[in-house]
A = this chain, B = another copy of it.
Amino acid sequence: MASEKEVKLLDFGVSPFGVRTRIALAEKEVEYEYKEEKNLNLGEKSELLLKSNPVHKKIPVLIHHDKPICESLIIVQYIDEVFPSKTPILPSDPYARALARFWADFVDKKISQYALRVWKLKKGEELEETKKELVENLRTLEAELGEKKYFGGEDFGLVDIAFVPFTSWFYSFQAFGLLSVEDEFPKLAAWGKRCIERKSVAKSLSEPKKLYEFLSARRKVLGVE
């Protein structure tokens, strides 16, 4: 088990990308120092963040033995490789690994950007288009899940870690009148409930009502409501 000194995580509470790295660290039972970027919301970034991720200047950053690793899916794969003793996050079969990478990448390219934007938009064409893209891509993701327990089959893994942080946002999407995942994507909703039975997920996810309060306040600042 790594000591606190060895592993630090630069993060921001509600970030779904941060949640991914927290789940991976919890799956591997790694102890670490959590360093919240308190004023990220106000556009303020710590010197440590700017020094650790000079290219993108974004959280999360994992610092392991003073060396920074950036980009959440890359961090999760790093955690899997460097702490191999616990449950693997990626399967051992190369084809199954490629599929896991493909669907995690799909979440990044086709879900994240729409999910992180849809709640910020005022009524109008842009909102409708963003919602449509999000719904279509959730449909593709639900079809991929099908009747499986997790995206990779019986074992919780990379794609689950990539997507499960967004389940905290479902409550807000419904409350803002955008989308009911429960009604439209019952398999994704049921999968989300299975995931949260895992301790690693339960302790890492944003609490949906707290996230709703946070997003509501942001919507007021942005003049959406």
Q: B67 contacts A106, CB within 8 Å? A: no
Number of identical monomers bound together in the oligomeric complex: 2
Which residues of chain B are within 8 angstroms of A78 by Cβ–Cβ distance?
Answer: 94-95, 97-98
Cα A78 to Cα B140 with chains together (Å): 23
Which residues of chain B are within 8 angstroms of A81 by Cβ–Cβ distance?
Answer: 94, 97
Q: Which residue of B lies closest to A79 (CB)?
A: B94
Which residues of chain B are within 8 angstroms of A101 by Cβ–Cβ distance?
Answer: 71, 74, 77
A221 at interface by CB-CB < 8 Å: no
A105 at interface by CB-CB < 8 Å: yes
Which residues of chain B are within 8 angstroms of A94 by Cβ–Cβ distance?
Answer: 78, 81-82
A102 at interface by CB-CB < 8 Å: yes
* Chain A 69-86 interface residues, beta-carbon cutoff 8 Å to B: 69-71, 74-75, 77-78, 81-82
Which residues of chain B are within 8 angstroms of A98 by Cβ–Cβ distance?
Answer: 69, 74-75, 77-78
Encode contact with B along A153-188: 1 for CB under 8 Å, 0 otherwise: 000000000000000000000000000000000000
Q: A71 contacts B105, CB within 8 Å? A: yes
Cα A102 to Cα B73 with chains together (Å): 10
A55 at interface by CB-CB < 8 Å: yes
The verdict on A74 contacting B55 (CB below 8 Å), with A69-B95, A95-B67 known, is no
Which residues of chain B are within 8 angstroms of A75 by Cβ–Cβ distance?
Answer: 98
Which residues of chain B are within 8 angstroms of A71 by Cβ–Cβ distance?
Answer: 101-102, 105
Cα A82 to Cα B96 with chains together (Å): 12
Encode contact with B along A87-112: 1 for CB under 8 Å, 0 otherwise: 00000001101100110011000000
A136 CB to closest chain B CB (Å) equals 11
Encode contact with B along A38-80: 1 for CB under 8 Å, 0 otherwise: 0000000000000000010000000010010111001101100
Cα A94 to Cα B101 with chains together (Å): 17
Cα A56 to Cα B67 with chains together (Å): 35
User: Which 4 pairs from chain A and chain B are nearest by CB?
Assistant: A81-B94, A78-B98, A82-B94, A69-B98
8 more contacts with CB within 8 A, not counting A64-B95, A71-B101, A74-B105, are A55-B140, A67-B95, A71-B105, A74-B98, A74-B101, A78-B94, A78-B95, A81-B94
